[in-house]
Structure 1
Amino acid sequence: MLTATPTRGAPVIHYAVAGREDAEVLVLGPSLGTDLTMFDAQVDGLADRYRVVRFDLRGHGRSPVEPGPYSMADLAGDVVEVLDHLGVRRCHYLGVSIGGAIGQWLALHHPDRLITLTVCATAAQFCDPPSWAERAAVVRAEGTAAMLPSRLGTWVTHSFACHRPQEAERLAEMLLATSAEGYAGCCEAIGAFDVRAELGRITTPTLVLAGAEDPATPVDMVRAVADGIPGSLFTVVPDAAHLLTTERPEVVNAMVAGHLARRVHA
């Protein structure tokens, strides 16, 4: 695997590259409070066919902590910087939650950079926008540990945590390792995000996936994204909460591989 950390002239955020150098690029955008290793199962399942690029959000993983607040335009701009640095003109993009919001922003403002778009457990406007500023304030005061009790049952189902306790613990460690400012700045980007009136302008072939048991972005909220994007495909992944790429990787990987192969909707 090729990895790169921010240096002079390099992108602000940390990224990692795996897979065939001669293949089309698939970019993976993570969820709030996680790092790029949340996509280990996607690398295992897709890097034999694609050049997989993963990144850490600002203040997450190995990316530096930039002072917030951030905007979705800032976070999408970080992705464009990575693509430019790698010399990638066009890519497939898959994003989870805030990663999916970044994908929507890219499809609206940088459509020439995308071949396909897959968004998982995301929204065109997230629940209760004012609450995100409140969450940011709590995390700045108490750290990301304040969010830990609410993640079980939200990120993954209780059944998954019971049967895969080491994986659930690994996700918790990602959250605890996330900087308070990075988490809070991304919360503020989420609270200000609203592209409901713009979804109809997205022309990138789009797959939208919802977790059947996701309380953070319930099925109807995710379905609204698909309803707004002309020609998009929508699927509910059973037995999965918010981080469906982690909880049901085989199912998600198969759906993504099929979508990338189709390219154009019927």
Structure 2
Amino acid sequence: MEDLKLFTAGDGARIAYRFDGREDAPVLMLSNSIATSLRMWDGVMSDLVEHFRVLRYDTRGHGASDAPAGAYSIDRLGRDVIELLDALHIERVHFLGLSLGGMIGQWLGVRAPERIERLILSNTSAYLGPAEYFDGRIAELARIAGIADMGETAEGFIRNWFPASMIEQRFPFVDAFRKMVLETSPQGLAGGFAAVRDLDFRRSVALIDRPTLVIAGEHDTVTAASHGEAIAAAIPDARYVALPCVHLPNVEVRDAFVDAVRAFLIRP
């Protein structure tokens, strides 16, 4: 992708990132869902760059970032963000994470609040068990020889991300997200599943003291709206918005999602 750059994290993994928008605007950092890349935000970029210098990156194991072997941890994924900000000499950002990105956002809110101006946690959970489910998914991925065999995995994600009507009508963005899954390293996806498996912020999320907006999908079967409600209830003075969508409000209800983000980040 044009303008894509790489930085090397503390453990040697290369993380891909890019900037969009004018250099004098506040920085908004976007963190992608599992099995996607920074391209998942393409549909909302034209609106976001009107107000922000947008920093997107590929979570390790995804997109153009390296996919080292072994289990990843939410701590390592969070430190990737801090190390990237340090490398770019950026002190504080607005941070918007969706799904796995929202889990990374929770880590930042708890462990590195001094780096966060305002925090948006979209379609995410403080705990997503049981562990046995993720162990099974990791075992399945270990049997996949390469990205050419990711078809069944991709269809599973698509069914969880979009309403059946959009899938049946073959909306172009559905195919774009299917392509992202198909291009995800099985080894990287397994590492991400391990991070989700081991995550449990149900108690510590209450320590977040940054201004926080929690967005949930009313029809989300992965990170249910009740998960978002629980996060919002635990964080002091957090705002909560439920949108009529499944797992990807930035795509399915794009305008409502952008309106919620702008209303929260752009203070009168």
Contact map agreement 2:17 2:56 (CA 8 A) in 1: yes
Residues 157-196 of structure 1 aligned to structure 2 (within 5 Å) = 157-163=163-169, 165-196=171-202
State the AA in 2 paired with 1:4: K
Match of 1:253 among 258, 261, 268: 258
Kept after mapping to 2: 8 A contact 1:69/1:188: yes
On the 8 A contact 2:29/2:56 being kept in 1, the answer is yes
Match among 221, 237, 258 for residue 215 of structure 1: 221
Alpha-carbon separation, structure 2, partners of 1:216 and 1:169: 20
Is contact 1:212-1:237 (8 Å) kept? yes
What residue ranges of structure 2 are gaps of 5+ in the alignment? none
Q: Secondary structure at the match of 2:158?
A: coil
Q: How many residues end up aligned between the 2 structures?
A: 262
Counterparts of 1:99 and 1:129 in 2: how far apart (Å)?
19
In 2, Cα distance between the equivalents of 1:149 and 1:134? 17
Q: Structure 2 counterpart of 1:153, which letter?
A: R
CA distance in 1, matches of 2:183, 2:24: 34
- What are the ranges of 5 or more consecutive residues in structure 1 without an aligned counterpart? none
Residues in 1 aligned to 2:56 and 2:82: alpha-carbon distance in whole angstroms: 13
TM-score by length of 1: 0.93
Find the partner of 2:65 among 63, 66, 69.
63
Aligned to 2:43: 41
C-alpha distance in structure 1 between counterparts of 2:117 and 2:201, whole Å: 20
* Selected match of 1:242 from 242, 247, 259: 247
- TM-score when normalising by structure 2: 0.92
Percentage of matched positions with identical amino acids: 34
One-letter amino acid matched to 2:227: M
The answer for the alignment partner of 1:122 in structure 2 is 124
* Residues 12 and 78 in structure 1, CA contact (< 8 A), matched pair in contact too: no
User: Which whole-Å deviations, capped at 9, do the CAs of 1:11-67 have from their partners, x for residues lacking one?
Assistant: 731011100101110000000000000001221111121000111111211001112
1:250 is displaced (CA, Å) by: 1.2
Report Cα offsets for 1:113-161 as digits up to 9, x if no partner: 0000101110000132331122111112125433223223311112233
Instruction: Tell me: CA distance 1:5–1:153, structure 2 relative to 1, closer, same or farther (3 Å).
Output: same
**For residue 262 of structure 2, what is the amino acid of its counterpart?**
A
Superposition RMSD in Å? 1.9
Residues 9 and 84 of structure 2 are in contact (CA less than 8 Å); yes or no, is this contact kept in structure 1?
no
- Taking the aligned partners of 1:105 and 1:184, their CA distance within structure 2 comes to 20
Structure 1 residue 164 displacement after superposition: 5.3
Moved over 4 A (4+): 7-11
- SS of 1:153's equivalent? helix
Distance 1:41 1:12 in 2: 26
- Which residue number in structure 1 is paired with residue 14 of structure 2? 12
Counterparts of 1:112 and 1:144, CA distance in 2: 39
